[in-house]
Amino acid sequence: MKKFFPVYVRVPVIFFSVFLALEYFIDSGDRPAFVKYPMVMVFLAVFLFLLIAIEIVKSAVDNVTYHMLTEEQKKQLEEVTSIDISITDKQWYKNLMKALTKSEPVENESLFLDHNYDGIRELDNKLPPWWLYLFYGCILFGAVYLVRFEIMGGDDQEAELRKEVAQAKIDIAKYMLTAPDMMDESKVTKLADAASLAKGKTIFAANCAACHRADGGGQIGPNLTDEHWIFGGSIKNLFHTITNGGRDGKGMVAWKASLKPTEIQEVASYILSLQGTNPKDAKAPDGEVWVDPEITKETPAIVKK
């Protein structure tokens, strides 16, 4: 496998596979997980360091093992194994390994005192730099962690969760105030643009024309073009009536299960645009004349059609 996927290909592939998996499984909203959660960045840094360290150790072991073989064994090994020897012969790789491992040939190693156990003697090897870097990095991380969370009172995971939940509730409440499909009669407004009225006309033709006629003149249902209304003639009144239905037993059915709030707003706005069109053979007025309290600046008694 090493022969086909050298270390400079294998390490990035493994690292970015783990990186993408973390980004996929950690819900970090609109920011990358390693930016929103510092611990993810720390994990990725340590993981990359360990990944490189493992490759260095494996390459060092393979290199030492290879140079201890006879020429015939080397030839057989190159034929039947996948150890990539070519990269170990490059000078830049040798310099890198030397800097990270500080390894010395066995014959140059010094023995540790007089330890000798059944012929096994312990070499006085120095700790490799890569291991020391990792050790010092852990100490630095521990110091930063201690200062941030124990001295400066940084938020732990539980505190971060509480803050995010509180912010989510604020965002949801803000969204509910302006969300089109969360609209009700207390927040609905009259639409006047041509695009919205055209959509309302299409909805009216498909769902309302059978009872109110295509021109709104009224048939089974009341005339929608005059000033007489049963439940009021404001956009809020119409929205409520279309949503919840008309008079019990003989009025219009509720459309809230069939139409979205935005669609009800559009068709209600279109109905109001029919005021004063005076279609031919319109149905006789039904209900009472309705006066908009916003225009009269006074609150009239509840008027029913």
pLDDT tens track for 222-237 = 899 888 898 888 899 9
> CA-CA distance, 115 to 123, in Å (whole number)?
9
Residue type (1 letter), 181? D
Stated length of the chain: 305
Choose the weakest-confidence range: 70-79, 84-93, 152-161, 213-222: 84-93
Residue 116 has pLDDT above 60, yes or no: yes
Cα(first)–Cα(last) distance of the chain, in Å?
84
Confidence of residue 296 (pLDDT cuts 50, 70, 90): low
Residue 207: closest CA among 262, 273, 275, 253: 253
Q: Please, which residues have CB within 8 angstroms of residue 47's CB and are 6 or more apart in sequence? A: 15, 18
What are the structure tokens assigned to 15, written together?
């690292």
Q: How far is CA 22 from CA 94, 148, 169, in A?
A: 34, 24, 26
pLDDT tens digits for range 239-271: 999 988 887 777 788 888 888 888 999 999 999
Question: What is the DSSP annotation of 221-270?
Answer: SPPSSSSEESS-SSHHHHHHHHHH-SSTTTSPPP-TTTS-HHHHHHHHHH
What are the structure tokens assigned to 55, written together?
């490759």
Whole-number average pLDDT of the chain: 79
What are the structure tokens assigned to 17, written together?
């596979």
The helix (run of H) or strand (run of E) holding residue 238 is: helix 235-244
Residue 102 has pLDDT above 70, yes or no: yes
Choose the weakest-confidence range: 140-154, 170-184, 201-215, 285-299: 285-299
Residue type (1 letter), 37? Y
The pLDDT, as a whole number, for residue 201 is: 93
Q: What is the mean pLDDT of residues 161-189?
A: 81
The pLDDT, as a whole number, for residue 197 is: 93
Let me know: does 188 contact 239? Beta carbons within 8 Å.
yes
pLDDT tens digits for range 5-51: 667 778 888 888 888 888 888 877 777 777 777 778 888 888 888 88
